[in-house]
Structure 1
């Protein structure tokens, strides 16, 4: 099969490309950075260097493809995240319509079933909505959980304050995921025969925030590490002290609030997947290495 992978050689794109090439598929990887071409080609894939904002580039790259893996790369500089997700998703729709691609696997997020109140995840909801307008295309939305590597963002807080603090935590349930587990599911879905549209959750581990703190704490020699629930105001004030832009703060506070309320996981609880292979205990070793060397 001829398969196009967006997302360059990121946490998902690299293992996904490696797996697809290993299976014997012809893989084209889109990257906005010319310096990535050598690394892409070293994996046995074809490099397509250009921007997802460029419709003509997407049409050229998608032409002749049997399947495409789409994602909207994180861009916190975009003040209006929904508009950003809408724009990139609309570009995908136009390119797919003009090239006749029949199989689409899209990286989405848990909580994408909600049309408000989810901060950064709201963009994933509208991306799904826009992509679902495609006809004669078999679509699978991969609703991924909380990425393990997001926990790296708490290292400074742990070192400085001695705890993890957000407007969710304690007994709040978290569904976490390793990018390699997402890549494995994406590879499986991309080569499936065309069928009806599906939604598939991708999660590696289910734990409470307190359990996450305990596992991470043990790995770094702080077995009493706590994940403290802050008020929205406390979380906002802390992020303001770090100098984060207002739109970033608003999105994170809203996202955390939806996790704390349980709304983010309502649909997930009705469609639980088989958990992936990489557990938090595995990731904790990587976390500890970064923590100790940071």
Structure 2
């Protein structure tokens, strides 16, 4: 099949593209960085350099594809991340309509069933709504849980204060996923028949914040590493004091608040997937390599 992959060769695309090529598919990858072209071509895929904000480029690249994998690339420089999500989602929808693509696998997020109170994840909700309006298009929404590598955001906090303190912690349960497990799930979906509308959750492991802190602490030589729960107000104030823009500070506070109160995972619990291969202890070793490398 002819498959177009958006999102370049980031954390998911890097393992996904070689798997698709190895399975005999003709793969085209849209990348915003020209220096990625040679890497993509060495993987056996075709590179198209351009932006997901360019509807004409998307339409031309999507034309003739059997499957398009869509994702909204992270862009924390956007004035409003939610509006960026909505804009890219509309671009995808228009390009899919104009190109005649009939099957889409879309990277969404757990919590995308909610229409408020989830911070940046609300953007995934918007994109699902936009794509679901497409007629005669089979759509699978992949809803991964919290990415393991998001834990790296706490590295400086661990170094500076010897603990993790956010508005989700202690015995709160976090559902975690590794990009390799997401890529494997997408590759599986490619080989399955499409359906009008499908949601697939992807999760590698789930542990309490205390258990996560213990696993990470063990690998970085801090066996007593603590993950403390603080209030939404205190968390937001810390973001603001750190120089994070007010809107992004609000989004971050909402994400962890929705993890703490269980809202983010409420639909996942009713459609629980099988665990992926990469467990917390596996990732803790990855975390330690990066953490120690930055000392």
Considering the TM-score relative to the shorter chain, is it more than 0.5? Answer: yes
Provide the secondary structure at the position in 2 that maps to 1:112: coil
**What's the CA shift string for 1:270-294, capped at 9, x where partnerless?**
0000010011111111111112221
Provide the C-alpha distance between the structure 1 equivalents of 2:60 and 2:16, rounded to a whole number of angstroms. 22
Provide the secondary structure at the position in 1 that maps to 2:215: helix
Q: Which residue of 2 aligns with 1:216?
A: 216
Q: What is the correspondence of 1:235-250 to structure 2 with a 5 Å cutoff?
A: 235-250=235-250
CA contact (8 A) 1:167 1:231 kept: yes
CA contact (8 A) 2:110 2:145 kept: yes
How big is the shift at 1:187? Answer: 1.0
How big is the shift at 1:241? Answer: 2.4
How big is the shift at 1:192? Answer: 2.0
Provide the C-alpha distance between the structure 1 equivalents of 2:80 and 2:224, rounded to a whole number of angstroms. 39
Provide the C-alpha distance between the structure 1 equivalents of 2:131 and 2:186, rounded to a whole number of angstroms. 17
**What's the CA shift string for 1:40-83, capped at 9, x where partnerless?**
10100000111111111001100110001100011112232222
Q: Which residue of 2 aligns with 1:277?
A: 277
2:52 paired with 1:52: yes
Q: Which residue of 2 aligns with 1:6?
A: 6
2:68 paired with 1:68: yes
2:37 paired with 1:34: no
Provide the C-alpha distance between the structure 1 equivalents of 2:52 and 2:190, rounded to a whole number of angstroms. 20
Instruction: Note the residue ranges of structure 1 that are not aligned, 5 or more in a row.
Output: none
Provide the C-alpha distance between the structure 2 equivalents of 1:52 and 1:104, rounded to a whole number of angstroms. 15
Q: Which residue of 1 aligns with 2:134?
A: 134
Provide the secondary structure at the position in 2 that maps to 1:122: helix
Q: Which residue of 2 aligns with 1:286?
A: 286
Provide the C-alpha distance between the structure 1 equivalents of 2:102 and 2:270, rounded to a whole number of angstroms. 28
Provide the C-alpha distance between the structure 2 equivalents of 1:101 and 1:233, rounded to a whole number of angstroms. 45
Instruction: Note the residue ranges of structure 2 that are not aligned, 5 or more in a row.
Output: none
Q: What is the correspondence of 1:85-234 to structure 2 with a 5 Å cutoff?
A: 85-234=85-234
* Cα root mean square deviation, aligned: 0.9
Provide the secondary structure at the position in 2 that maps to 1:28: strand
Provide the C-alpha distance between the structure 2 equivalents of 1:53 and 1:248, rounded to a whole number of angstroms. 21
Provide the C-alpha distance between the structure 2 equivalents of 1:59 and 1:265, rounded to a whole number of angstroms. 34
Compute the TM-score of the two structures, normalised by the length of structure 1. Answer: 0.98
Q: Which deviates more, 229-238 or 5-14?
A: 229-238
CA contact (8 A) 1:169 1:228 kept: yes
